[in-house]
Amino acid sequence: MSWSYSDSDRDAVYRVIAERRDIRTGFLPDAVPDAVLTRVLAAAHRAPSVGMAQPWDFLVIRSAARRRRIHEEVRRCRAAYAETLPASRAAAFNRIVLDAIVRAPVCVVVTCDPTRGGWYTLGTPDGSEALVRSVGYAIENLWLAARAEGVGVCLVAAFDVAALSRVLGLPSQLEIIACLSLGYVDRFPAAPGLVRDGWVRGRPLEWVIHHEEFGHRGLPGQPAARLLDETVAGFPALAGGEPAREAEPATLSTPLGRTVSRLVALTQAHPPAPHGVLALFAADTDRSDGRAEQAVREVLDSGGMDRLMAATGIEACVVDVGLHAELPRIPGLLPRRGTNRSARPLREDVVRAVETGIELARDYHATGHGWLVGDVLTADDSSAIAIIARLMNRSPAEFATMSTEDARSAAARQDHAGPAGADPLDILAEHAGLAVAALAGFILGARAVRAPVLLAGSGAAAAALTASLLAPDATASCFPVTPFPPGVPDPFQHLGLAPPWPDSPVDLTGPGAAAGAVPVLRAAAEQHWPVPELAAATGGAR
């Protein structure tokens, strides 16, 4: 005996899931009948909850005056949040319309009572968190039922919980989880609103399914693959579509023009989205003696990240892929460390670091970032220089004229000797180059989704070399913005890469220096991007 639904009933379930939308505009003034609203709330009330505590309450508000008061509170919080965003993100955020609270005829405020069921609610060893998650299940039920009824739902979650609770006069034990605007709409869009607004792109299903161990990805029934292997083996398949075309050599003759031509080849004539992100990968090396932690704290505590975001309009974060110290949760810090906390990483640790970078690049691209900037944040450049020497089969002594203590330290090291053509991941493990490994993965992940990565400095050069040895096509995503100092082997030149200008128009020194080039390259790309109609009319000349 089969307990499955009929084909038509099953199709209806999957259809309502696929067509659920967060509706921002197009609400009609028609009232939602009481019977319809009752069915929708009954579906929410049937949601699973830990210990069957049913910790939710639904405050139904039809009064226009009360909905205006909610809207005023939400607008205040939106304005405060917009001020914290980089310029390009703030502009996109402010274009997102949020007046459903006053235009939809019904607002449902969903709350959680963490004391529901008393102190010993079954299945709540971690306190109220399990109860809060249960309310999320109820909201999803409500949303799907509303779509089946042809009722649009707009989720509002950006508000000051305490302030809105005072506005609504809620009992002190209740926590507001969401405000939902409900009403009939003129249409249900084919794509989610944030995708249409260019805020996100979404993540494919195969990115999020793991088999037996985290990192072994694949759809059910398909062979599971490590992320590194999958990425290196199939850039076009992962990105969707054909490989990037080679740029025509005669497109634009200046260094900046050739850079734009490379961008066209990489992104297949689609200009990158204006949003950008700087990822500073941090880890202790074999010679840093824990000083990388100090460098991370200085970057995060000095306000430098905020100033950089204000100056360039891009987001910025520090990614901990191997600091010896356990840092607390600091705004701007992404914890991505592996389980091995020893000073000497294993090859498997290096592979995990590479995969961390791949996933981060893909995730940032999925959330709407067209410009990626990668750098290594460390207190010791000598390991990066030693890695460059090994990967280029050169002596570290050739880099001593860089006139830095780290370069001289690298030149004096005796552990650079090794067989030509050694596995780059083994070389990174020898030098505890986890940050370099993660940035190499960032480059690979960017190439997989056809996003440019701006690079500067020895750590970024070591990562570009590593990525090119793992997959030669990875260099298509690399855009160095400064050359190496004269008189030393230039890893970027070794890879056939050139900066977009002989003399940089911006100051490109210090951690994350390449981020300073984003506004300039973004403007150049927008100005010189090929227009198909114009190219056809002029015989392809630009």
Write the pLDDT tens digit of every residue in 487-531: 889 999 999 999 988 776 555 666 778 888 888 888 888 776 654
Of all residues in the chain, the percent with pLDDT exceeding 70 is 81
Which pLDDT belongs to residue 293?
80
Angle at the Cα of 426 from the Cα atoms of 425 and 427, rounded to 5 degrees: 90
Range with lowest mean pLDDT among 68-72, 156-160, 435-439? 156-160
Range of 274-278, 346-350, 503-507, 512-516 with top mean pLDDT: 346-350
Indicate if the pLDDT at residue 485 is higher than 50. Answer: yes
pLDDT, mean of residues 49-59: 90
Indicate if the pLDDT at residue 253 is higher than 50. Answer: yes
Write the pLDDT tens digit of every residue in 73-90: 888 888 777 777 766 667
Q: Report yes or no: 324 and 338 within 8 Å, Cβ to Cβ.
A: no
Write the pLDDT tens digit of every residue in 420-472: 457 999 999 988 899 999 999 999 999 999 999 999 988 999 999 999 999 98
Which pLDDT belongs to residue 470?
94
pLDDT, mean of residues 103-108: 95
Which pLDDT belongs to residue 183?
97
Which pLDDT belongs to residue 123?
58
| pLDDT class of 373 with cuts at 50, 70, 90 | very high
Beta-strand (E) ranges in 222-322?
225-226, 276-283, 315-322
> Quick one: three-class SS letters along 386-446?
HHHHHHHCCCHHHHHHHCCHHHHHHHHCCCCCCCCCCCHHHHHHHCCCHHHHHHHHHHHHH
Indicate if the pLDDT at residue 405 is higher than 60. Answer: no
Cα–Cα distance, 93 to 220 (Å, whole number)? 37
| pLDDT class of 417 with cuts at 50, 70, 90 | very low
Which pLDDT belongs to residue 425?
93
